Each structure stands twice: as structure tokens, then as C-alpha cells.
Amino acid sequence: MQIIHTLAELREQLAPFRHPAVVPTMGNLHDGHIALVRRARPLGDVTVATIFVNRLQFAPHEDFDSYPRTLQADCEKLAAAGCDLVFAPSEQELYPQAQTFKVHPPAALADTLEGHFRPGFFTGVCTVVMKLLACTQARSAVFGKKDYQQLMVIREMVQQFAMPVDIVGIETHRSGDGLALSSRNGYLSAGERSQAAQLSEVLSSVAQALRAGDIDFPSLEVDALQNLAAKGWKPDYVAIRRQTDLQTPQPGDALVVLGAARLGNTRLIDNLEV
């Protein structure tokens, strides 16, 4: 497996290939990331993982400086998973000058849910993903459904810009107790980790009510928020939305239940399709 740090090296290594399959990550990899790499392998003639902690998607009060950077351990995991090439640029390499050109996704999709609580987040995500897809000349890119809204925003970006990239989403990987795997799970204390699966449990209870025919969406959302708060969480949202565009659902729509809440100092997100 090649580990590349510059664009010049990247272009040289990828020159013989016509269909790179790419997995963009911020590193600190877990089994969910490795599943993305395994899914990517049959999609192209070379498998590329990118590792870059993207300042543009962090607000000033968020954890950019403390976000775990574990390149050596990440590369060992990627090599074991059959990844061909790791592109791990420095900030200076990827942003050699101020990134004044940015991708601003539509407000209806990107300023709700995560975008409401993290203003500018999806502009940062779209800008770096577009740049990484261009750098790697990706023809396929694989993302996890845990970041459900992010996956939808990226798909819409690729479609509207007519980018020749197939965006593939795979199911959320979970621990045995149901907690969605996330790099930020490492921030949880032992006591918080024992409680962390409560988020998925609350979302599961909403999903069960929906499957049973309950269509009082506002009451289900409020009850879920109160349930989390009673357990000691600080919830941002629990929302029932239409799968296709994350808008308010109509009868008969395929649904997704999304939630974000803070447990101690750690903010976790999750979702379940219904």
C-alpha cells in the first residue's frame, strides 16, 4: 500500500488507473470505515482512502485541534483491508491558499438538522469532498449512512454538478449494544459509554411506533426528546423526515428518524430508516 502526502505524488500514482474508488475520511478509523474500504474495492481498479481533518467543517468552538490524528494506526488498518493507496495531505498541501471558492449547498437540504446546529458545516463538507474527488479523479466514492444528511447532500452535489462519480452509501456499523460506530465515541468516559446506546434505543422506539401506524410525528419527536433529556442527555433534535429529501413527510413516504444529542461533552448522531 502506498502512502502519499502530495498532489504531485498522487497524480503520478493514479495515472495508470481509470476508475479509482475512493473513501474520504478524517482518520481515527474504526470498523465502520474499514467496511467502507472493503465495499469500495470491487467498485474500481484502485482503492484510495483519503485522510484529512478538514478545518472548513469545524466551527471555532468545535474540536478541530483535539480531533484524534492516528495516521500510523489508520494505515495499518487500511493495509490489512486491502486498500491500495492512502492520500494524507497536510493542510498546506490541500489548501495552499485560502479556500475562497466554496460549495454552498441549498438551504432546504443543508440548513436543517445538522446544518441548523452546525452552521456552515455542509459548506465545509461539500468543499472538501469536491476537492478530494477532483484530486483523486474518483469514479466511485463510498460513504456511511450514519452521516445520513451528509450522504444526501453529497449525492445532490454530485448530481447537480454532473460529476462522473457514483456515490455509494452503506449501512451504519454498530457495536453489540447498538451504538453507531463513530470516531467521537472515543471521547466517552466509561460511564458515558455504558449509556451511549440509549440514543439508538430511543430512535428505535420511534421507528417501532411508526411501523405500528402512529402518524402523530410531532408528538413522537417531543416524546423522544423528553426521553433523552430524562436520561441525562442534552438533545439537539429528534426528527422524522422523508428519506428522499429530508423534508416533512407525507402519508406513504419512506421515512427516516434522525437524532443528535450530547452525552457529557460528546455529541453523537444516529438515524434509522423506516
Three-state SS annotation for 243-270 = CCCCCCCCCCCCEEEEEEEEECCEEEEE
CA distance 73 to 68: 11
Q: How far apart are CA 103 and CA 26, in angstroms?
A: 19
The answer to whether residues 199 and 233 touch, using CB atoms and an 8 Å cutoff, is: yes
Nearest to 67 by CA among 87, 91, 43: 91
Instruction: Count Cβ atoms below 10 Å from residue 231 Cβ, excluding itself.
Output: 15
CA atoms within 13 A on the CB side of 47: 20
Give yes or no: 33 in active site: yes
**Strand ranges (DSSP E) for the chain?**
2-4, 20-25, 46-51, 85-87, 140-144, 166-170, 234-242, 255-263, 266-273
Query: d(Cα 49, Cα 192) in Å, to the nearest integer?
Result: 31
Give the 3-state secondary structure of residue 94. helix
Quick one: 127 exposed, middle or buried, by C-beta within 10 A (0-12, 13-18, 19+)?
Answer: buried
Three-state secondary structure call for residue 147: coil
Q: Which of 19, 33, 61, 173 is catalytic?
A: 33
Catalytic machinery residues: 33
